[in-house]
Copies of this chain bind each other. A is one copy, B any other.
Amino acid sequence: MNEFSITRADCLARDAQDPLAPLRERFDLPPDVIYLDGNSLGARPRAALERAQQVVAREWGRDLITSWNTAGWFDMPKRLGERLGPLIGAKPGEVAVTDTTSLNLFKALAAAVRLQAEGPNAARRVIVTERSNFPTDIYMAEGLSEWLQQGYRVKLVDSVEELPAAIDADCAVVMLTHVNYRTGYQHDMAALTRHAHQHGALIVWDLAHSAGAVPVDLNAAEADFAVGCTYKYLNGGPGSPAFIWVPQRHQEKFSHPLTGWWSHARPFAMSHGFEACDGIGRALCGTQPVVSLALVECGLEVFEETGMDAVRAKSLALTDLFIELVEGTCANHPLGLVTPREHARRGSQVSFTHPHGYAVMAALIARGVIGDYREPEIMRFGFTPLYTRYVDVWDAVAILKDILDREDYDVAAERGAVT
């Protein structure tokens, strides 16, 4: 009882055999920290520091305005999209890295609503999503619905089981986050997309906790639109610009209200009438934050040395191990696993509830195990196969067990923003 089912030495041995182990060296991780929060902010690729210096000192400082062309600043959203595409099953020319996830979601939702309004289901007015979706997704859908002022509304569904029935004859668009940010539950993208289409709805996927975390094949699923984040599992840097995917079949009719000059057919002609360009460029709007955008490339480069199958295999091994060790060694504590045990339904994180989850997480962080906390009661642990080792899992659980066994946490600790 309450013993480790495998030894620390076993974990070291698994690390020695791990084909992804060499990639850890591509990241700069602080010493004495076990970083299990890559699902909130990915660690820094070593290359990002040199790249930042290059963009700031040489491209901005020395080459100045010429860098828009010579350093490829203007084409960066599409160039980065091409490199990101293979991670989510995109074809060439279907992804742009730009703006924020919230804004890209707004564009995708607007486009989906307009597509429906011009088709046989023009009378539909409901955007279906989950109450447990990341709040900003719901807020953006509410913002769009309210401003369209044509009776659009957001319908919040309370459980996965109720989703299929909610996609009814009133449903114009389904908006789902593929992997839930709190629980780590992973939807069946292909099945839900098929279900939505069978019932005349379009579907928008938020891949914030999926891209770089789990295999995604948007084209195989025949999804309609997708957006996602580059600063979590893709390690693009704090607040780095997000991405948007528009499949070729929808590009010609892709339209949204944020019609800035970067989506114009001839942006430098400075004409006064908007005319959308062809292709994924339609998803762009205004001038992008070049330094932050450039660093996204350093994160994507690391993925090009492996593949999502290898990443997924290690992710499942890490999360399986974490669940097994926590449940085996902390069984006498009131922990509740909220992440699915079923592989197909699990993302790359493990969440446990604990009545003093906030305080326990604060104690973990104080001892160098960095996860995070999400209301209510949820301790989140994210596993990034590119830099997380098996021995990190073992050590993290040993510290968690010690904190719980000794009740070494302050239940009176003030709750602040644990981002």
By the criterion CB–CB under 8 Å, are B274 and A142 in contact?
yes
Segment of A210-218, A287-295, A318-326 in the binding face: A287-295
**A344 on interface, CB distance cutoff 8 Å:** no
Contacts A56-B52, A110-B147 hold; do A270 and B74 have CB atoms under 8 A apart? no
- Minimum CB–CB distance from A134 to chain B (whole Å) comes to 8
Partner of A53, one of B49, B237, B273, B274: B49
Partner of A375, one of B53, B131, B140, B269: B269
By the criterion CB–CB under 8 Å, are B30 and A61 in contact?
yes
**A40 on interface, CB distance cutoff 8 Å:** yes
Segment of A63-71, A245-253, A334-342, A348-356 in the binding face: A63-71
**A233 on interface, CB distance cutoff 8 Å:** no
In angstroms, Cα B40 to Cα A287, docked, is 12
Residue in A37, A110, A258, A286 whose Cβ sees the most chain B Cβ within 10 Å: A286
Residues of B within 8 Å of A273, CB to CB, are: 138, 142
By the criterion CB–CB under 8 Å, are A69 and B416 in contact?
yes
**A315 on interface, CB distance cutoff 8 Å:** no
Q: For residues 232 through 267 of chain A, which have their beta carbon under 8 Å from a beta carbon of chain B?
A: 237-242, 256-261, 264, 267
Interface size on A (CB < 8 Å)? 94
**A231 on interface, CB distance cutoff 8 Å:** yes
Contacts A258-B106, A287-B231, A291-B237 hold; do A65 and B101 have CB atoms under 8 A apart? no
Residues of B within 8 Å of A143, CB to CB, are: 256-259, 274
Residues of B within 8 Å of A271, CB to CB, are: 135
In angstroms, Cα B81 to Cα A333, docked, is 47
Residues of B within 8 Å of A226, CB to CB, are: none
By the criterion CB–CB under 8 Å, are B69 and A49 in contact?
no
By the criterion CB–CB under 8 Å, are B238 and A139 in contact?
no
**A407 on interface, CB distance cutoff 8 Å:** no
**A78 on interface, CB distance cutoff 8 Å:** no
Instruction: Please report A residues at the B interface, Cβ cutoff 8 Å.
Output: 28, 30, 33, 35, 37, 40-41, 43-44, 48-49, 52-53, 55-57, 59-69, 73-74, 99-103, 106, 110, 131, 133-136, 138-140, 142-144, 146-150, 156, 231, 237-242, 256-261, 264, 267-274, 285-293, 295, 365, 370, 372, 374-375, 416-419
A sample of 14 inter-chain contacts (CB < 8 A) reads: A30-B61, A35-B64, A43-B61, A69-B417, A100-B260, A103-B103, A135-B270, A135-B271, A135-B272, A140-B258, A142-B273, A143-B257, A238-B290, A239-B289
